[in-house]
Amino acid sequence: MAVEALPGEEYIQEYLLYARIERNLSPATLQAYHSDLTRYLYYLREHGVKDLNEVRQGQVRGYTRCLNSLYLSAATIHRSFSAIRGFHHFLLTEERVAKDPSAFLEPPKLPQRLPKVLEVHEIEAILEAVDTDKPLGIRDRSIISLLYACGLRVSELIGLRLINLMLEDELVRVLGKGSRERVVPIGRKAIDDLENYVYSVRPALARKGKNAGEVYLSIRGNPLTRMSVWNIFSRWSVNADIQKEISPHTLRHSFATHLLEGGADLRAVQEMLGHADIATTQVYTHLDRDYLKEVHQTYHPRG
């Protein structure tokens, strides 16, 4: 007995190709979208849908409720909904279907998770804990210093090349998500740490391995990996006796939070972080409000 085909299955690869080229989605996201859409089409087939033109708004809603009943994470459900809505919109645009049943549906809300941050004195403690008597310690201090000074993602740090450094202008050119380029200011202290590494340590590392001018290199002279940076940060955080559960990305959160606490403009912070949508940056204003409430409760006579 032949297995009944999934409705619209033949369009999945076409949509994923579009998403890769036009939206520049990562291979991991594309793989997740493939699984999300396949599961969605199974659901439609089980509910009697044989053609995507038959799909109604209520069936898309019903599928979202089904995902909720499986106790999947809010992020997974949100991603699945994004894949489905993008898929239907693509089919309509390409005139494969006559209507988009997801067009007027609101995406499921993600719970607002406030990122963990380090206090300024904790970041200073980590930097002071680094053993700069050793060449790799000079490198490690520069890594931690730059992550915090510029609010970089780890992927941006390991992809940074010497040609991206504009230290005379106190700037760094960064290639972020979606191949979007931005220029970020770098403070004097981070420049000092960076120049110390670039001129006194990097040349010896570069001669040992293969690299394309990446700033940060391993002991073998190859570009650092994400895990290498994680291990570096973890090692010196432990040495500094930091008790919080943190990662290199915590420095990016701390960068944004400290700027906003100091009175920086939200749009300027958005630009420095490389956020396409200011709504992504606004999560840090919640942290700022918590800080203000704490000040009020501490110092106001009726706090």
Instruction: Given the residues 23, 47, 50, 177, select the one marked as catalytic.
Output: 177
Instruction: Given the residues 15, 63, 216, 284, select the one marked as catalytic.
Output: 284
For the chain, what is the HEC assignment? Answer: CCCCCCCCHHHHHHHHHHHHHHCCCCHHHHHHHHHHHHHHHHHHHHCCCCCHHHCCHHHHHHHHHHHHHCCCCHHHHHHHHHHHHHHHHHHHHCCCCCCCCCCCCCCCCCCCCCCCCCCHHHHHHHHHHCCCCCHHHHHHHHHHHHHHHHCCCHHHHHCCEHHHEEHHHCEEEEECHHHCEEEEECCHHHHHHHHHHHHHCHHHHHCCCCCCCECCECCCCCECCHHHHHHHHHHHHHHCCCCCCCCHHHHHHHHHHHHHHCCCCHHHHHHHHCCCCHHHHCHHHHHHHHHHHHHHHHHCCCC
**Known catalytic residue: 177?**
yes
Instruction: Given the residues 153, 202, 253, 258, select the one marked as catalytic.
Output: 153
**Known catalytic residue: 296?**
no
Q: How far apart are CA 79 and CA 63, in angstroms?
A: 13
Instruction: Given the residues 78, 89, 235, 249, select the one marked as catalytic.
Output: 249
Instruction: Given the residues 79, 141, 202, 275, select the one marked as catalytic.
Output: 275
**Known catalytic residue: 20?**
no
**Known catalytic residue: 258?**
no
Instruction: Given the residues 79, 202, 252, 258, select the one marked as catalytic.
Output: 252
In the numeric block, which tokens belong to residue 36?
Answer: 């999300």
**Known catalytic residue: 208?**
no
**Known catalytic residue: 153?**
yes
Q: Catalytic amino acids? A: 153, 177, 249, 252, 275, 284
